[in-house]
């Protein structure tokens, strides 16, 4: 058991769920502290039947802390994580800053738990859109070796943080009332609209969010030959990302075999009956920790292709739950 742990970014959307998960999953610890920016310092937090006070995060905050689970912006992670590691703290980091560092393992416990053994004080949790896709890819890759993926993501506004959620609610209310709304987060109205850009231009017309799915998938599977063609779209959904995924495998996998592989994989739930109109949707997968798969069908344009639909709560499995699962892996080895 870790004698002392910390939740960094404890008052944010993901940090709040991390706190809930630590309680619900009865994560063992000796002492716990909650760290955030100066803006949130001093706020009371109820945890474990006690009232805790949020502390401002400084380098000194990690004295004696053995494990930190952190959800912060990239620049914050860049600055504080090395200081925490220097003080002997293992950091499970949700930011994007350390993911592609060759010395930092990028871990999804259902996919590559072995990678955790390579850590040098930092373990990174993948991008939310990558996480659900790779969890779904794992059983197919093991069975037939995936060579190519074409994925279109339909990403909820919660993925843009609390300000994204405010824009969806405020913009929708204004649109229904025929009023103007000044968007804080999105360059265009998100109410009754789809925005086919998440992140800035990154590589050959692909955005930073799309390239994360390319680079992170290859790193997690330790296979640079996997080809990924992503398109990421922000949609007017409050929570849960959806993905349309097409994979091409070396060995043919039938629809029946794929359904069995998905169903046998921990962390995946199959909801797939087109005649009965049963398939995963954001409003049925919200506040769940699993990855949901449906609309499983043969690609009628390619011999070894499979298409399916995938939905997951981006704040939970896409972020908080995955980080806590990594912490549980560390705990098992402590």
Q: What is the pLDDT of residues 274-323, one digit of tens each?
A: 999 999 999 999 999 999 999 999 999 999 999 999 999 999 999 999 99
Tell me if residue 135 falls in helix, strand or coil.
helix
What is the model's pLDDT at position 148?
A: 98
Query: What is the number of H-type helices and E-type strands within the chain?
Result: 8, 16
pLDDT at 6 over 90: yes
Mean pLDDT score across all residues of the chain: 97
Spatial strand order of the sheet with 268-270 comes to 227-234, 146-155, 241-249, 305-312, 291-298, 268-270
Task: Give residue for tokens 């659900």.
Answer: 132
Q: Are 6 and 63 in contact (CB under 8 A)?
A: no
HSE-up of residue 165 (Cα within 13 Å, Cβ side): 10
- Determine the average pLDDT of the residues in 124-141: 98
Active-site annotation holds for 128 = yes
Q: Are 196 and 231 in contact (CB under 8 A)?
A: yes
- Determine the average pLDDT of the residues in 108-118: 97
What is the model's pLDDT at position 35?
A: 97
Which ranges in the chain belong to alpha helices (H)? Answer: 13-24, 74-86, 128-144, 162-177, 208-221, 255-263, 282-285, 321-333
Hey, what domains does the chain have and what are their CATH numbers? 2-126+319-333 (3.40.50.720), 130-314 (3.30.360.10)
What is the model's pLDDT at position 260?
A: 98
Residue 133 structure tokens: 């896709």
What is the model's pLDDT at position 241?
A: 98
Residue 69 structure tokens: 């689970």
User: How far is 308 from 137, CA to CA, in rounded Å?
Assistant: 10
What is the model's pLDDT at position 207?
A: 98
Q: Pick the catalytic residue: 89, 128, 232, 240?
A: 128
Q: What is the pLDDT of residues 65-105, one digit of tens each?
A: 999 999 999 999 999 999 999 999 999 999 999 999 999 99
Q: What are phi and psi of 281, to 5 degrees?
A: -140, 155
pLDDT at 334 over 80: no
How many C-beta atoms lie closer than 10 Å to residue 199's C-beta?
15
- Residues of the chain with pLDDT > 70, as a percent, come to 100
- Determine the average pLDDT of the residues in 198-218: 97
What pTM was computed for the model?
0.95
């Amino acid at each position: 058991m870790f004698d002392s742990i910390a939740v960094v970014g404890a008052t944010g959307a993901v940090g709040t769920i991390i706190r809930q998960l630590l309680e619900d999953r009865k994560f063992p610890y000796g002492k716990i502290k909650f760290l955030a920016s100066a803006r949130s310092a001093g706020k009371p937090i109820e945890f474990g039947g006690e009232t805790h006070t949020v502390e401002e995060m400084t380098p000194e905050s990690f004295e004696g802390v053995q494990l930190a689970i952190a959800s912060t912006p990239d620049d914050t992670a860049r600055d504080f994580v090395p200081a925490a590691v220097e003080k002997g703290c293992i950091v499970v980091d949700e930011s994007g800053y350390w993911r592609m560092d060759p010395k930092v393992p990028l871990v999804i416990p259902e996919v590559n738990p072995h990678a955790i053994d390579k850590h040098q004080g930092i373990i990174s949790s993948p991008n939310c859109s990558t996480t659900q896709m790779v969890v779904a890819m794992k059983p197919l890759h093991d069975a037939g070796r995936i060579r190519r993926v074409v994925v279109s993501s339909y990403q909820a506004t919660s993925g843009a943080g609390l300000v994204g959620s405010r824009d969806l609610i405020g913009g929708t209310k204004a649109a229904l009332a025929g009023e103007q709304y000044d968007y804080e987060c999105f360059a265009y109205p998100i109410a009754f609209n789809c925005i086919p850009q998440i992140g800035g231009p990154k590589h050959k017309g692909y955005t930073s969010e799309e390239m994360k799915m390319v680079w992170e998938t290859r790193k997690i599977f330790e296979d640079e030959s996997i080809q990924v063609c992503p398109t990421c779209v922000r949609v007017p959904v409050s929570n849960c990302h959806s993905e349309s995924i097409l994979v091409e495998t070396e060995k043919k996998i039938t629809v029946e075999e794929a359904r069995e592989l998905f169903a046998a994989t921990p962390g995946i739930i199959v909801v797939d009956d087109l005649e009965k109109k049963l398939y995963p949707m954001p409003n049925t997968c919200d506040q769940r920790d699993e990855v949901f798969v449906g609309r499983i069908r043969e690609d009628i344009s390619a011999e070894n292709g499979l298409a399916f639909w995938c939905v997951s709560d981006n704040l939970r499995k896409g972020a908080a739950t995955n980080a806590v699962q990594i912490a549980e892996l560390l705990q098992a080895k402590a």
